[in-house]
Chains A and B, each alone.
Chain A
Amino acid sequence: MNTFYLNQLGRTGLVAVATAVLNACAPGQETPTPTTSVDVSRYVAVGDSYTAGISAGGLTRASQEYSFPSLLARQFKGASREAAFTQPLLEAGTGAGFIELVDFPATGLPKTRRVAGQAVRRTIINPGTCAGPDTVRLLTRNNPSSSLPQNLGIPGLALSQIETAGLGNEASAVAGAPFNSYFERLLPPATTRTYLQAVTDVAASATFFTYFQGLDDLLPYVRSGGQCGGRYDSTAFRNQALLTMRANARKVLDRLAAGGRPGIIAKLPALTTLPLLRLGNGTALLARFSAAPGVFITVGNPFRPAQVRPITSRDYVLASVLSRVGQPTAVVVGSTTLMLPYGLDSRNPLRDADVLDETELTFVSFVLNGYNNELETLARDVYKMPVITPDGNQRALNLDVILFDQVAGLISVGGVVYSPELVRGNFFSLDYYTLTPRGNGLMANAFITAINKAYRANIPAVDVNSLPTVAQ
């Protein structure tokens, strides 16, 4: 027994020695050193929901930590040791509330439920909004509120609101007044500071910026099937909306790019790449309900009487109502009440508010494209930003080309496939709009690719597969 024990010990020792010797024999390679020709140590991020780190319809401490600016800043640390990045972090937990997965049936439409947020300190019901009663949730104030964070992403912030005084003042949190609770929690109580002033303050000490703003200007219109969020059906309104977005983007960028400060200006992705629209594309819907006589939608606007027509490949049913399509609902036909499948019978068409039809999409895309063109022009002519694409003619980041279109066609990253499918695709989160932590990792890598090209930097990319698949 004793001998055996000694033998065992001796053998273990021998193995340990052999292992140590051979471990030293792993063939060496030099690891590249992260470098950058520009100072990324004080980075400021300006934007809306994406920049703030909204994921699965909510902001939580975890979703903030996996926001793309936060992931970017983490990678900057490798190249610039003194780099620091502050975010208006919520307390750990359910934050402002979010939606979670209950079940993922074969239809590919997840069943979800809303989880209440612990950071909500007061709610105000605004009964008179276009899409019905709206709940404003006041959140616990960022601490310390005396200094503004470097991540200035404000969920829901429209470019048209950047000079609205009182947008972040609790006194404005009444029905009908412009108010943003995410902006409010960044500011000291009872101040009338505008978002543009906040950007001005933070940009003063910044060395680098990212700008990705404007989606939240257009999303209310898209989400309401063209019913709310602005009268984009009116030519005058459209032109004015575009002018405002361009002018206000310029105001923000004038602060950010002042004195030739380096940064990345990102253009908006096409709205149809977002699952909110993509999942309910007319072609996809017709394929899904090929047994039905057709899919019927209501189109119209306040100037024209509503009319019912079959759906086409250029119409989009909102993803949020897809699970209701085909469900029997009661409809009065003549004098009798019939149970007809919703949307699959011309007598029970999809409501106008449930569809972003071709015309509505054209209206809103006009603004989006005009805005993107302006960003490219500003980057090239006004701020003289460096070229960021290999083909040598783009100076604002086209996220469609480098990210969203690629994911739409499926990509494999280190053996893991990312797709626009919800839940299994691991890219878009459950709100059909924002990204999962891994999606944000891919987004951060798109920015890193652009930074490395534009500023001759060697910033390492995020290992996306090591990030969680859900933020909460």
Chain B
Amino acid sequence: MKARVAVMFMLSDAWLIARKDLKLEIRSRVAINQVIPFALLVLVLFAFALDPDRGLLEKATPGLYWIAVLFSGLLAMQRAFSLEAADGVTDALRLSGLSPSGIYLGKTLSVAVQLLVLEFLLGVGVAVLYGASITGWLLLMATVVVATAAISTAGTLFGVVAAGLRVRETLLPLLLLPVLAPVLIGATRAFEAALSGTPSEGWPWVGLMSLFAVVYAVAGIFGFGPLMEES
């Protein structure tokens, strides 16, 4: 009974934080004005690097897509914590009495929503710019959902590890990108399997990424409290 009440509070706190972050994002328009254009810029740069006439782009589309997601997602994750850095908001959050696990889940949710928007637009981008023909919808959708969960759970946890430090901009990529390597491999392979019409090869990757997301969600729910106490 007590545990159920705690979980209810955690979820309502999470909803509160997610709504606050997304509202800030919508009003400040940083994601729309800077992160999304950056993501599209990355797609154009890949085309410059790999000559579009040689068919390399089409072959490498799944990998390029997920690299673009990771790089532009990093910007969104940096934002999620630089929001709190100013005006002593971190202290205010700590004093607010919201459960740390709720704050973690809320931030994760807000990052996940932003990533989903980003992934949708990048998907349209590769379909139009790289001429990728899209098949295997079910696997594609499942991959997008679990990969987003994996990236946002790990990203939010490492975001708070780097938060409040002078070196956070350089530290977060160093910490996060090696950790997300399995997600990059998994999401890319699953996309390749879906696009080449052999979806059965992609499902084990979806399983691995789900496991990854669960591990990081649990670590975040329990680790966020101690991490928020200091700094």
Instruction: Specify whether A and B are partners.
Output: no
Q: List A residues at the B interface (Cβ < 8 Å).
A: none
